[in-house]
């Protein structure tokens, strides 16, 4: 499974017709200590780059955008009581939700790991 990244620092891991979504290690580090994750509602439908969820830290609050269009079919309920999991494991255990992908071709609008690393170097 390959990870893809958005310029807003979301990651998506595609497996068949589903996409697991979270924020990158870079974003988690930039936010600092995460205090709250507002998970999307299961059943919510989003378009690529629409607001999907929200995250708050001691430094800032920010939106999490959908890296691909789809319908939310699962959320990471662990984050409701333990938002710090995003800091500890942003690209693994700290996933936000799973989407049922509506347009797999949208992945072309995202970066692979190497391109994302190059993008981070320009910030």
Per-residue model confidence as pLDDT tens digits over 19-41? 999 999 999 999 999 999 999 99
pLDDT of residue 53: 98
Measure the CA–CA gap between 91 and 103, rounded to whole angstroms: 23
Inter-residue contact 5 to 97 (CB < 8 Å): no
Q: Tokens 């924020």 correspond to what residue?
A: 23
Which of 5, 122, 114 minimizes the C-alpha distance to 65? 5
What CATH number labels 3-103? 2.40.50.100
pLDDT of residue 51: 98
Is the model's pTM score more than 0.85? yes
Strand partners, 111: 5
Biggest CA pair distance of the chain: 37
Angle (CA) 28 73 107, round 5°: 60
Which of 70, 52, 59 minimizes the C-alpha distance to 9? 52
The domain ranges of the chain are 3-103
């Amino acid at each position: 499974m390959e990870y893809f990244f958005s310029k807003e620092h979301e990651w998506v891991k595609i497996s068949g017709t589903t996409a697991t979504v979270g924020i990158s290690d870079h974003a988690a580090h930039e936010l600092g200590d995460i205090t709250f994750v507002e998970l999307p509602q299961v059943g919510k439908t989003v378009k690529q780059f629409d607001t999907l969820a929200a995250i708050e830290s001691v430094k800032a609050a920010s939106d999490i955008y959908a890296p691909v269009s789809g319908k939310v079919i699962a959320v990471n309920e662990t984050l409701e009581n333990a938002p710090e999991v995003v800091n500890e494991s942003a690209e693994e255990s700290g996933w936000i939700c799973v989407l049922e992908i509506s347009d797999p071709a949208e992945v072309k609008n995202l970066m692979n790991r190497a391109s994302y690393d190059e993008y981070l170097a320009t910030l």
